[in-house]
Chains A and B, each alone.
Chain A
């Protein structure tokens, strides 16, 4: 039986004491144990930042690649071996800054990947610069005049017809763990935006600030199948911030439509040069 011990860290953790990432890691471990997934079944794909270090602090196969390029690498790996459970992990810089184009493309394709965006609204690893989701006007060393209009990842995801969209909060491990489980079990691409206070560089959006504002959609009789309602919830920010399952829709999964994967995983298929004689005939 899989237990939390199977998901112990591989190397010492270097996050700041009190970092929201600890709670996210705890929620993820719980979700994986609850789903009885073994570490070798998982492929973590991550980029660069504090959040993308997470795979090294637990157990699984890991492809820790370039900043912002998590989703293309995850997509390639998923197509090559669709039997792997692929989890993408990035911060708001990788997910919504450097990698925003890939996020849009991957949501459109609807590859079966669960993508965790640890959204602390600031760049941690490079020590405190504005991120795409920083509050508008957020003053940092790279934005002395204030950050530009804040990006709304939820509305963006909905406009790309994302098939699973949730928002969790690092301050509620149990709730977040439930969302992660749903995301992993979802057939298709799942974006889980995680509100994650940064104790070192974001003194505005703190645990306390969030606790006073977040509320759970499932306690409100909310219908996650209603896209118009989802767009409305995606606009809500400030005094009240919704968390929970924002939107879910079944639609065709990219790799399930590939004829090449019908019989077995691509990686299990043998290479046979002799099968191509008929192609040579076409040039004769």
Chain B
């Protein structure tokens, strides 16, 4: 029987919920299983309610499922909030002594988590490790893979902590085998052959993609959900000569990255909507000075501070229109962690080839959700620095024009200090040599030269992913992180006898108008599904293709879409 299993660990901040979730996910990913996992946390450091959800399957999984097979409740609130999501044949692991829950019914499995931690290792802090052991035992998984992960995870804390964690986990595991072995009918087993995959979240994929794509410089100011990108480059970048600067504000971040890019290195920033608001004058600066810079914009619900630890796709139009004046740009919106990795490499290539800013638009859901992906193939990565002159070519220049007017709009790019040629650029409108001007004719030439690059950028855009079914009743249209939920909704609908097409737009600007238009008005009802209140993609499609979208399914409560939810709402709201 196919494995499709949903586990949630919940508790308050500081109880180690994240640790429980990650360890469970790693054990199963090591066993060749597919994982989709996310964490839900509040805008606080201690207390509150946090949970970590894992969906595990022997097939590719693209989204979460609402119904739970196992709920690991480290506190009472977890049970109160999530009990109704536990399937009738599911199990709630909890500690009666700690939670004082009036637990009636088959689904409850009382494990003395705190007492076992106290008795076996004299350390209440390892209560969460006991819970991991109990969950693994309950699911019928072997103990050895758990011990392997624990030893790796805790190695930096020393031998005593490692062994105590293994003992604590074993106590939970043994308890589950003795008293809970029959509680779950579905068991999780590793996949033989063991095709190991990478387990990582979207931000890690973006950060890895940046480094592999040749990023040498990042400047940033922490802001959820983009902070881990700066942290990753600051940490891992040290071994690969990447410079990460934690700056005073986002205005400094973008201007510093633009300065680094002008001097010739691949440079980026990563932020969220509020930080990007501070950066947009800089974005226009990159536009007029024709400086390649990559911006990761991790969306979260706004306006202003909004809901910092939640998700939304409310900044599509902002990404498209940010910055004053008119200048070319590209906007990529990866759908998955895998796409996020490759999107970063493409973003740097496009930015340098067209000497203009490129925005990689993600959101909290993609940024923080963990997935298993096939190991990235670094041999497939190509670096294209466009018309960047070699030292030899630049060395021969005498009278260099940084903003030479060309048919493509792309000027051969020399770097300051590369030779004797002077590299001059200006945020004022300028002539070909880069010096400020005021005459209308030169202005027109330069403005049109820059805007011509938009045509080249358009040729780089990959057409949206399209899945067709014969006699489709609906065409489900999405962009960015809703991909998984939409794909799985289509599978559920197929099971219900409803055929759907899927059109997913991962590279948004320049807009692939022709390929989107070709899918519309083909008899199927078009339904745009997006995480915002104003149907920004539906409006964009109308603007760019002239086609009116038939219906929208919108969600903007800060939570990601679930496949079941899309199916329900399609049936109820779209007729």
Contacts and interface: CB of A to CB of B under 8 A. Distances in A.
A53 to B, nearest CB: 7
Interface stretch (A134-142, A239-247, A273-281): A273-281
B200 interface: yes
Nearest to A84: B417
A283 B198 contact: yes
Given A39-B422, A101-B249, A73 B262 contact: yes
Interface stretch (A29-37, A115-123, A206-214, A263-271): A263-271
Interface string B234-265: 00111011110101110111011111111111
A158 interface: no
A79 to B, nearest CB: 6
Contacts of B219: 72, 76
Given A43-B416, A280-B208, A80 B265 contact: yes
Contact of B378 (A48, A102, A276): A276
A41 interface: yes
A65 B427 contact: yes
A219 B261 CA distance: 45
A283 B258 CA distance: 31
Contacts of B263: 43, 76-78, 80-81, 84, 267
Interface in B330-387: 345, 375-376, 378-379, 381, 383, 385
A62 B434 contact: yes
Contacts, number: 195
Contacts of A38: 420
B424 A62 contact: yes
A105 B247 contact: yes
A276 B422 contact: no
B211 interface: yes
A69 B263 CA distance: 16
A62 to B, nearest CB: 4
B196 A279 contact: no
B289 A84 contact: no
Interface in B380-402: 381, 383, 385
Contact of A280 (B198, B213, B421): B198
Contacts of A39: 422
A63 interface: yes
Contact of B248 (A11, A102, A279): A102
Contacts of A275: 240
Interface string B189-224: 000000011111000100010011110110100000
A261 B243 CA distance: 9
A40 B435 CA distance: 16
A79 B261 CA distance: 10
Contact of B198 (A63, A266, A267, A284): A284
Contacts of A65: 255, 258-259, 285, 289, 427
Contacts of A79: 217, 243, 245, 260
B310 interface: no
Contacts of A74: 259
Interface of B: 196-200, 204, 208, 211-214, 216-217, 219, 236-238, 240-243, 245, 247-249, 251-253, 255-267, 281-282, 285, 289, 345, 375-376, 378-379, 381, 383, 385, 415-417, 419-428, 433-436
27 contacts: A40-B416, A40-B417, A45-B259, A56-B424, A59-B422, A63-B262, A64-B424, A72-B252, A76-B257, A76-B258, A76-B263, A76-B267, A77-B262, A77-B416, A81-B417, A101-B249, A259-B241, A266-B216, A267-B264, A269-B241, A274-B378, A274-B379, A276-B208, A276-B240, A279-B208, A280-B375, A283-B200
Closest 8 CB pairs of A and B: A76-B259, A271-B214, A73-B259, A80-B263, A61-B416, A76-B260, A72-B255, A76-B256
Interface of A: 10-11, 38-41, 43, 45, 48, 53, 56, 59-66, 69, 72-81, 83-84, 101-102, 104-105, 258-261, 266-267, 269, 271, 273-277, 279-280, 283-284
